[in-house]
């Protein structure tokens, strides 16, 4: 029996780990992939207070090493398949490691890339369709590629990919035919001779043989086929909240509803980071969420079990 189980090892979960561990809570953190979270896929981080500039990998390593170095924190890698509350005790079911019990749980489930269901998208995933610039940019060296998206992420990743590719064409999917990104990032992209922006267009089909070799766009009602060596999809994220979909804690967009203490409507069940209905999804916000949840989880335990 643990005092606290944290599900998810990104910045939010690891921050909760630090505060729970320092609060002497007997803590288990469960992560299905690698500790550190999605920030490790970010080439450069320049907006984390106190750290002027670092790579996403370096920052995620700092999070991980800090949290997992605390003595009373136990960690395992496993896929959580469900969470239930039996009386005052939470049961966390995993795919291969059995069931773990705790007096409180913090959900740090994160998000994943949104799949649009465009024709050819699933068929060519990993064969020219990519959702991660850091992972796949080196494979498009000296090639011509396209990016679908119009926000900050799409433009930032276009800058990174342009270091490898011969040409990067951004397909802006904003309905008003604009780029919905910060002005500084937009200006930087406009100055890059290897990047162009295609406005008022929608991607309707991805084609190829073994690998992607062309895409079809609809621009102002007219279909156009363009040759390409690959397409990167940066069209938003969706929460990974399926394992708690039966608990009545999700909003209409499947994000977890929490109060100012990061507690759901189930006493003792907290949620933090990008999987919640927050207004800003950034590492610094996730870290703040984790700290708040761990502190109030500690208070909940002291009040519930005193």
pLDDT for 121-140, tens place per residue? 999 999 999 998 888 898 99
Choosing from 214, 233, 252, the residue where a domain stops is: 233
Choosing from 233, 256, 279, the residue where a domain stops is: 233
208 and 152 both lie in a single domain = yes
34 and 77 both lie in a single domain = yes
pTM: 0.84
223 and 256 both lie in a single domain = no
Residues 241-277 as b or e (16 or more Cβ within 10 Å = b): bebbeebebbeeeebbebeeebbbebebbbbbbbbbe
Residue 118 in any domain: the answer is: no
64 and 209 both lie in a single domain = no
Model confidence at 180, in pLDDT bands (50, 70, 90)?
Answer: confident
215 and 267 both lie in a single domain = no
What proportions of the chain, in percent to the nearest 5, are helix, strand and coil? Answer: 25, 30, 40
Residue 120 in any domain: the answer is: no
| Length, in residues, of the chain | 306
185 and 246 both lie in a single domain = no
Query: 217 near 202, Cβ under 8 Å?
Result: yes
107 and 147 both lie in a single domain = no
Domain with 243, as residue range(s), is: 2-113+237-305
Q: What is the dihedral of CA 89, 93, 96, 97, to 10 degrees?
A: -10
Rounded Cα gap, residues 264 and 247, in angstroms: 10
Choosing from 174, 206, 233, the residue where a domain stops is: 233
Give the distance between the most distant pair of CA atoms in the chain. 69
Question: Which CATH number does the domain housing residue 296 bear?
Answer: 3.50.50.60
- pLDDT tens-digit map of 94-106: 999 999 999 999 9
87: how many CB neighbours lie within 10 A of its CB? 5
34 and 105 both lie in a single domain = yes
159 and 242 both lie in a single domain = no
Which residues are within 8 A (CB) of 32 and not within 5 positions of it... i.e. 6 or more apart?
A: 77, 78, 79, 80
- pLDDT tens-digit map of 252-298: 999 999 999 999 999 999 999 999 999 888 899 999 999 999 999 99
Residue 263 in any domain: the answer is: yes
Residue 119 in any domain: the answer is: no
Q: Number of structural domains, the chain? A: 2
Check pLDDT > 80 for residue 43: no
Residue 225 in any domain: the answer is: yes
User: Please, what sign has the CA dihedral across residues 259, 273, 289, 88?
Assistant: positive
Over the Cα atoms of the chain, what is R_g? 21
- pLDDT tens-digit map of 220-236: 889 999 999 999 999 98
């Amino acid at each position: 029996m643990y005092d606290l189980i944290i599900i998810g090892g990104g910045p939010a979960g690891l921050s909760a780990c630090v505060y729970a561990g320092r609060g002497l809570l007997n803590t288990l953190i469960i992560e299905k992939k690698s500790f550190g979270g999605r920030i490790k896929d970010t080439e450069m981080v320049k907006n984390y207070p106190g750290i002027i500039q670092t790579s996403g990998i370096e920052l995620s390593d700092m999070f991980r090493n800090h949290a997992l170095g605390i003595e009373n924190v136990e960690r395992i890698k496993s896929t959580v398949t469900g969470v239930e509350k039996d009386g005052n005790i939470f049961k966390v079911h995993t795919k291969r490691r059995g069931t773990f019990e705790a007096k409180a749980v913090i959900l740090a489930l994160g998000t994943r890339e949104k799949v649009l269901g465009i024709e050819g998208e699933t068929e060519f995933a990993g064969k020219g369709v990519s959702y991660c610039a850091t992972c796949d940019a080196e494979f498009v060296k000296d090639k011509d590629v396209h990016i679908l998206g119009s926000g900050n992420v799409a433009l930032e990743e276009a800058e990174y990919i342009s270091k490898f590719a011969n040409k990067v064409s951004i397909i802006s999917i904003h309905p008003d035919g604009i780029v919905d990104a910060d002005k500084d990032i937009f200006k930087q992209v406009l100055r890059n001779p290897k990047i162009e922006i295609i406005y008022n267009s929608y991607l309707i089909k991805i084609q190829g043989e073994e690998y992607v070799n062309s895409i079809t766009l609809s621009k102002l009602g007219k279909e156009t086929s363009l040759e390409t060596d690959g397409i990167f999809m940066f069209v938003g994220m969706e929460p990974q909240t399926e394992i708690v979909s039966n608990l009545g804690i999700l909003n209409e967009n499947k994000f977890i509803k929490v109060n100012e203490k990061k507690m759901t409507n189930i006493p003792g069940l907290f949620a933090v980071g990008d999987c919640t209905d927050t207004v800003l999804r950034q590492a610094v916000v996730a870290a703040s969420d984790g700290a708040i949840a761990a502190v109030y989880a500690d208070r909940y335990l002291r009040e519930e079990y005193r």
